[in-house]
Amino acid sequence: MSSIPMSPVIEAIKQSYQTHINPRPKVATKIYIACSGGRDSMALLFACQQLQLPIHVIHINHKLQKISDNWQQFVEAYCHKHRIDYDSVCIDWQSQQVYAADSTISHEQQVGTQQVNEQQVNEQQARTARYHAIIQIAGENAIVALAHHANDQVETLLMNLCQGTGLAGLTGMTAFGVQHEFGKPIWLWRPLLGVTRDEISDFVAAQHIPYIDDPTNFGVANQRAFLRNQILPLLDERFHKVVQNITRTQQNLTEAQRIVEEQYQQDLALCQWSNGWTSHQQCLHIPNLTSLSQARRFNLLHHWVKGSQKFAPTRQLILQIEQLLQLAQTDQQAILQWQGIEIRKYRDTLYRLDADYVKAIHGKSDYRVLTNLAADVELSVGLSLGLSLASRAVLPNESFQLLSQSFHQSFKKLCQRFDIPSWERQFAKVVIMHDNKEKVLTASQTPPRFALLLPNISVWLADASELNLATQALCPWQLVWTDSLISKCH
């Protein structure tokens, strides 16, 4: 280690590695460096190489500039010279496909594509394609090192500020954190966030690190370049060390964000109902929710609606939910839609239905509901029945006689009695005793009914009175799905 050059770059990477990577030995066996060939990523690559970290380079050729192939060849030549494992990935924008070479030291993937104008591909499209390519190479839970530095952090804050953002948008990028792309988690490591662009330039010059300048970094063609080349120099001229000052402000905002997150968790614990029969439906207790101050309620709804979505909901949507909470009719249902999810109100409960569940209740996805119930269903009284059971859907206009009652009630009335909203009622099942295991039951047959399975609750019927069952029990099944919506017995 004595031969390693001392610099803010080296020190930042060493400290960040010890803080974030060392505690995770299972995923630290290989670090994938996203290297464009520019000054920042080459400085990161060189420093990690000097520190003898287990690195593997990934270069993404976006095919957006005439010199894109030159960048790819430059990175490959450097890796080949220094015996660094690498992969080159080319993006074909015409077919919107990503082609990745096999993981090897010297293998090169050549993909013929028609040149695409950079203005035709926006920053979000390029980012999506880039992460898709990285996941193809690195796989799930891989550590991907990015060369974002303090100036990038400041530029991001200014961009978010100019476009209108919340507290999270002002805290900027994190030094280390998990990110879900295309449903797969990867760890993003940014060890240079505390290092300025000037410090990186000094390191590159002192160590004679080769790199290629990206022409888009100059001029004012895009927003980031405009802030970098026009605005930040003016601010730095008027306010000394503006990058360091804004970075300090971001650190303060990050601490404030943590406090807000802690408050959110406390408020969520106060207001959240049990999710019931499916984790794809979240519930908030409206009386507890409305007891919060307006600011805390807004913060809770903002985080709760967002869930695992990539982008946060708009302020207008939260205000619409606030209006929804004020509806006086207890049974009135209203629906708000956002990014495939639905927000619904039924009586004293606010529901958040995720996109898969929304498709299911609207009949737009393939699924099957409970078709049989295991013979050893565990009952709330602790009794395990050795019966052969089957189930069927609720028949139109069907009524039911509950235990200890001498009259029948319609299915709708029973659902209202047990606070089952209309969209859940289609999943209700009638459990029946089945004497012949080989016999297939149809809806037209009428064997003795055993129980009515509603989401969250099992309602035992009069036919089962001789079994000395409790009138009600927790529902023994849940609605879950993997690739498609499936209802399984638990």
The residues pairing with 341 across neighbouring beta strands, listed in sequence order, are 338
In angstroms, the CA 27 to CA 29 distance is: 6
How many other β-carbons are positioned within 10 Å of the β-carbon of residue 163? 9
In angstroms, the CA 38 to CA 212 distance is: 5
| b/e 100-124 (16+ beta carbons within 10 angstroms → b) | bbeeeeeeeeebebeebebeebeee
**Is 36 part of any known ligand binding site?**
yes
**Is 39 part of any known ligand binding site?**
yes
**Per-residue 3-state assignment (H helix, E strand, C coil) for 135-193:** HHHHCCCCEEECCCCHHHHHHHHHHHHHHCCCHHHHHCCCCEEEEEECCEEEEEECCCC
Angstrom CA distances, 25 to 13, 22, 387, stand at: 17, 6, 50
Residues 6 or more apart whose Cβ sits within 8 Å of residue 64: 93, 116, 117, 118, 121, 126
196 contacts 243 by C-beta, under 8 angstroms = yes
In angstroms, the CA 183 to CA 419 distance is: 33
* DSSP SS3 for 352: strand
How many other β-carbons are positioned within 10 Å of the β-carbon of residue 289? 22
In angstroms, the CA 206 to CA 7 distance is: 10
Sheet of 55-61, strand order = 97-100, 86-92, 55-61, 31-34, 143-145, 184-189, 176-181
**Is 392 part of any known ligand binding site?**
no
In angstroms, the CA 109 to CA 107 distance is: 7
Sheet of 349-353, strand order = 281-285, 349-353, 341-346, 334-338
**Is 38 part of any known ligand binding site?**
yes
Q: Within 13 Å, how many C-alpha atoms sit on residue 22's CB side?
A: 7
Which residues are annotated binding-site positions for ATP?
A: 36-41
Which residues are annotated binding-site positions?
A: 36-41
